């Protein structure tokens, strides 16, 4: 009897899950695992990676995933600790066993995969990019140095990652002797000012796609509204579900293309696919540059020294800089786990340039509080804004007062978040 361990990571769904499909095709016994890795609880700059908003979102996602697996004769085992130790321990119970998972583009995660490949039989499907990773028009080492060059190359022959169906049955024949981690099912009270009620899971993800694209037709105006600050539909807000893998980029792409065929094709519909390509670019860059992405000098490996002054940093963190536009955005982040793209650019620029702080402090704060955190996009963007990344123009320095005047002309956003 061949046993397969399906290790769910940032792919908490049954559809468009090549690792799961392959395991079901090849194995008689499938064990489904999710591991809350200790790296998520390790402290750096006095912050753990996993903050309260994302933790609740993950819990909701896992609860639905477990239910979906149970309806197909299986279930999800949730563990906490070092992933490699748990997986090797489970493997020790079986003679013929193979690990199936999807690769994740973080340096720590890549080291885990390397170690597991050395110690057991593994099959890691490519990272969850929109573009078929194995059909890129260049090898990873030749990844273009700017997004514009990357986009022009891939759009000439855009090959989308293959979709997979949901397996009808996921066989589970033999139980294993492990103690599952008891996930806290209590929910946090959500701030009524939040742009959206983010709820983890595939059902909520697909509902959000339906709402944004089809019910409200907000997609048709995305390019014009994407820099707004208040409301559910100025942007798609798919990022949290994409990061946790409740939503696949292929699903978003298919729905956008269907909308273009049935309703309208314009700059706004293209722009959402454009954003998915940005996500792919950051993922590929993380794979190429590894640990450099997380170091002070960034992927350019330049000499960089930013202050780690805790007084200035804490004022920025808690929205007490006395710069209204910065403080409003930072308070929204802490209360809801979300911040607009325009807000993220401005608060990052302020930390780097006005406060002269180490950009890694800001990146870590975002890592802790963002509900849509993923390592490649978060650290890629911070590298970009610090001048250590893929921006061909160097550092991005935003004039905060001017930005507030343009994007919050009447001051409604600042009033919303600076109220007592």
In this predicted structure, what is the pLDDT of residue 42?
A: 76
Class of domain 202-291: mainly alpha
In this predicted structure, what is the pLDDT of residue 186?
A: 66
In this predicted structure, what is the pLDDT of residue 401?
A: 96
* Domain ranges in the chain with CATH number 1.10.579.10: 295-418
* Domain ranges in the chain with CATH number 1.25.40.80: 202-291
In this predicted structure, what is the pLDDT of residue 7?
A: 98
Angstrom distances, CA of residue 157 to CA of 117, 132, 259: 32, 11, 22
pLDDT in tens, 304-321: 889 999 999 999 999 999
Cβ-count burial 209-228 (b if 16+ within 10 Å, e if not) = bebbbeeeebbbebbeebbb
* Domain ranges in the chain with CATH number 3.40.50.620: 3-125
In this predicted structure, what is the pLDDT of residue 396?
A: 78
Mean pLDDT by 10 residues, the chain (420 residues): 96 97 96 91 81 95 96 95 94 95 94 96 95 94 96 93 93 80 73 96 98 98 97 98 98 98 98 97 97 95 90 97 98 98 97 96 96 96 92 80 97 93
Which CATH number is 295-418's, of 3.30.310.80, 1.10.579.10, 3.40.50.720, 3.40.50.10490?
1.10.579.10
Cβ-count burial 297-317 (b if 16+ within 10 Å, e if not) = ebbbeeebebeeeeebbebbb
Which residues 6+ apart lie within 8 Å of 302 measured at CB?
387, 388
**CATH H-level superfamily of 3-125:** HUPs (3.40.50.620)
Alpha-carbon Rg for the chain in angstroms: 21
């Amino acid at each position: 009897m061949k046993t397969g361990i399906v290790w769910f990571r940032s792919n908490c769904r049954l559809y468009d899950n090549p690792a799961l499909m392959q395991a079901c095709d090849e194995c008689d016994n499938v064990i489904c695992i999710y591991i809350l890795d200790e790296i998520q609880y390790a402290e750096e700059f006095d912050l753990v990676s996993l903050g309260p908003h994302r933790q609740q979102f993950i819990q909701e996602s896992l609860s639905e995933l477990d239910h979906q697996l149970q309806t197909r004769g299986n279930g999800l085992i949730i563990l906490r600790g070092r992933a490699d130790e748990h997986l090797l321990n489970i493997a020790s119970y079986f003679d013929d066993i193979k690990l199936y998972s999807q690769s994740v583009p973080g340096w720590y995660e890549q080291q885990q995969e390397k170690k597991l490949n050395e110690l057991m039989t593994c099959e890691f499907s490519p990272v969850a990019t929109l573009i078929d990773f194995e059909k890129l028009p260049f090898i990873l080492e030749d990844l273009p140095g700017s997004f514009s060059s990357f986009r022009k190359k891939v759009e000439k022959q855009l090959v989308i990652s293959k979709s997979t169906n949901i397996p009808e049955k996921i066989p589970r024949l033999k139980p294993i002797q492990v103690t599952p981690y008891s996930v806290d099912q209590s929910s946090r009270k959500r701030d009524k000012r939040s742009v959206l009620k983010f709820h983890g899971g595939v059902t909520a993800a697909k509902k959000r796609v339906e709402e944004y694209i089809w019910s409200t037709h907000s997609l048709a105006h995305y390019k014009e509204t994407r820099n707004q600050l208040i409301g559910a539909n100025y942007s798609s807000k798919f990022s949290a579900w994409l990061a946790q893998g409740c939503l696949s980029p292929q699903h978003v792409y298919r729905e956008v293309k269907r909308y273009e065929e049935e309703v309208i094709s314009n700059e706004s519909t293209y722009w959402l696919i454009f954003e998915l390509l940005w996500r792919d670019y950051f993922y590929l860059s993380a794979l190429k540059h590894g640990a450099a992405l997380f170091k002070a000098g960034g992927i350019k490996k330049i000499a960089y020294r930013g202050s780690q002054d805790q007084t200035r940093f804490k004022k920025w963190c808690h929205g007490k800089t006395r710069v209204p536009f910065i403080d409003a955005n930072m308070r929204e982040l802490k209360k809801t786990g979300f911040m607009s793209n325009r807000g993220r650019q401005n608060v990052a620029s302020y930390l780097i340039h006005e406060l002269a702080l180490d950009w890694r402090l800001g990146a870590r704060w975002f890592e802790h509080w963002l509900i849509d955190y993923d390592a490649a996009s978060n650290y890629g963007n911070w590298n970009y804004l610090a001048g250590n990344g893929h921006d061909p123009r160097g550092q991005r320095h935003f004039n905060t007062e001017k930005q507030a005047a343009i994007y919050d002309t009447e001051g409604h956003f600042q009033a919303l978040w600076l109220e007592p």
